[in-house]
Amino acid sequence: MNDKIFIDTNLWIYLYADASDREKTQKISGLIDKHFEDINISTQVLGEVFNVLTKKALKEKEEARQMILDLVSNFSVAEILQPSVMKAIDLSILYGYSYWDSLILATAIDNGCSILYTEDMQDGQVVDGKLKILNPFTMKQ
């Protein structure tokens, strides 16, 4: 069985933003293809992806909505519940991340993920003894 992984909002944006950065888009596309069956996403990330795509005028709302539906159809979606909120607060205090980044961490941990792909947190750090943060743009192939 493969490790369950969690992919942060910023990486989905590279995938859906019409290749504004082709190298990053290709890297994320390969990452998703490689781990397709093991990817987890949260309701927070779904909302953030929609918000960024539409607020920055990267996509029309209906197109962004379809992208969210595609994510929901293809990947395991974790709903954010009160225990994850409390864990996020504790992680924020312990590790110094923002509440929103800590909520990503908490949700990934609570859903049994062992890897979080993001470029926004400390590459290589292990959080709560369970979740390793990896920046896909600094990884060697």
Domain count, the chain: 1
Domain-located, residue 56:
yes
Domain-located, residue 33:
yes
Tell me: the pLDDT tens digits for 113-135? 999 999 999 999 999 999 999 99
Q: Give the CATH number, domain containing residue 88.
A: 3.40.50.1010
Task: Give the pLDDT of residue 20.
Answer: 67
Task: Give the pLDDT of residue 139.
Answer: 77
Task: Give the pLDDT of residue 55.
Answer: 96
For residue 23, give its domain range.
Answer: 5-134
Task: Give the pLDDT of residue 19.
Answer: 65
CB crowding 4-31: b at 16 or more within 10 Å, else e: bbbbbbbbbbbbbbeeeeeebbebbeeb
Task: Give the pLDDT of residue 22.
Answer: 87
pTM of the model: 0.93
Domain-located, residue 93:
yes
Could you say which residues of the chain have pLDDT below 70?
1, 19-20, 140-141
Burial class for 3, CB neighbours closer than 10 Å (0-12, 13-18, 19+): exposed
Domain-located, residue 139:
no
Domain-located, residue 140:
no
